[in-house]
Every structure is written in C-alpha cells, then in structure tokens.
Structure 1
Amino acid sequence: LDRDYLADKSNWDAMARKVVYTGAIDAYFNFQLGNLEYRSVRFETEVLDIPNFQGNAAVNYTDRETPWTRIIEHKWFEFGKDEHGNELPKTVISREYASEWKPGDEPYYPVNDEKNSARYQAYQALAQRESHVIFGGRLGEYTYYDMDQVIAAALERSRQELA
C-alpha cells in the first residue's frame, strides 16, 4: 500500500478495532529489547542470449562448492512463451547468494538460536499486551514460513479471531 504503518501508527490504529501487523515484531516495539537477527540473500541478475537456461523456475544448490544457493529463471513463472506461444529468444536468471544481514537489509530467514529465540519470546510477551494488534507472518511471528504454511496460519488465526 506504500504506507509505513509505524510512521503513522496512532492514525492507523484509530481506524479499526484490530490491526493485522506483518512487519518485524522488534521494529513494532522500536527495538527496545534489541534487534532480532536474520539471514539475508543478495541477487545477481543477468540476461542471457539463449531461450532456456535450466528449463524450470528454480534450481536449488546444496553443495559446498557452488557459491549460490539457488538460480531462478524468471520466464518459467510465466511459462516461457510470448503471447503467441513462441519461445522467447532470451532469458533472465537470478543467482541467489546467502549474505550477512544487518539492520536496514531485507530480513529473509530468522536466526533460530538460543539468543534470538529468547529475545523473540520477550517481544511476544510485549505483543500479548497489544490486544488490538494481531502479529502475523514471518516477520511478526519471527518464523520461516513456506507459502502454504503462512496461509494455513492466517486461516487458523482468522478462525480464532472470529470464533
């Protein structure tokens, strides 16, 4: 929506009895207990003068010798054909590399260690006092979700709220 909830929180909160907050739980509380840590990724994207690089949307690399963790070939998300069903003469790939995370970077994966788990539990205790806010999603719940898991969690939370 191109709006920063935290920059105008009191205005947004006045609009509804409940707010669904999917941002970082530590940011919601202005990092008063410290930053939760994440792993991040960086992408290197290139256009190749070939119609097909890997034949599907994503290939994961788990061996130690390969410096990237995944290659995404974007055209396969759109079936790799133009509007007339013809092969596209070029393709776009992105290599995904694991990277160190620092505040301000895109947080991708929670760091599931003892320190961060304890810090999240402390933030969760603060969140339970915010009766008008539903904390959800990977940042609000400080958990890694696949898409099917986040949808299931949202549906379950909806059932709880509407019961």
Structure 2
Amino acid sequence: MKRPSLYSVEGIVASIFLIGLLLVVMLQILGRTPVFSGPVWTEEAARWLWVWMAMIGLAEVERIDGQLRMGFLVESLRRKLRLAILTLIDIVYLAIVLHLVWIGWKTIQRTWTNEAVTLPVSDALLYASGFLVMILIANRVVRRIAGFGYRHDSEEVETAL
C-alpha cells in the first residue's frame, strides 16, 4: 500500500487548534501587562484548545501509523505470520478503542448539563474530543484490518527481506 498523503483533515484541524492556542496564550500574556486587562476566559480556552489539538493529533498519528513501536521480534518473522500477528494486535486494539468510544459517549451524556466555568458551553464539548477521536481511530484500524489502510511495518519489512 502506498504511503499516506502529507496533508489530511486531521492534520489541518490540529494545526488550526495549535494556531488558536497560540493566539489565546498571546492574549493571556498581553492581559498580564499594564497595557490592558485580559479576558478571564483565556485560561480555560487555552486548556480546551490544547486538549482538542492533542486528541486530533492522536488521530493523525493513527492515520500515518506513526506510533512508537519495538517490532524487532515481529519483524524477524515471515511475512504471513507477521501480518497475522499485526492483524490480531489490531483486533485487540480495535476492541479497546470501541470500549473507549462507549466510555466517551457515556461521559458526554453525564456532563451534558454541566456548564464550563468561564466559557458559555457545556463541559460535554471538552469530552467530545475523546469520543470523536476514538471514532476516527476505529475507522483507521478497521480500514487497516480490511486491507485498505496504510500499514507501516508490512511495507518496509517486505522490502528489507
């Protein structure tokens, strides 16, 4: 399978959150100077932007199959056995991710009526980041299991053997 494209929705959205985070932090810094009094919501907004940026970044890492790994044992196996083990790992990983989707959904339901301290939105919006990202990750893992996704290990090791 060919390498994933350089640009993706996940990467672009995470970059937008990073830019927003930088702007809010700059506003916080300027608000601590004698020039003007900064808005009170910037601290909470910075935290929320950071969480969303990190979570969407996780989806981007999954898209390019860029997790840290120590694959020296799996890479020493023959191609079919290696792919079978990697598929089994993906199935277990998918089960964990789907469980996290369920936990995320229940958390959104539980926090729907809670309002953020300084922002005029529900706390559920913050927890929706984990729910959404786990759905994106589950999509990538299902595609990889079905043979439509990018698998970093199988391509590089095949050329090395």
Question: Which category describes the TM-score, using the shorter chain as reference length?
Answer: under 0.3
Q: What TM-score results when the alignment is normalised by the length of structure 2? A: 0.25
Q: Which has the higher contact order (CA 8 A, sep 6+)?
A: 1
Q: What TM-score results when the alignment is normalised by the length of structure 1? A: 0.25
Structure (1/2) with the larger helix percentage: 2
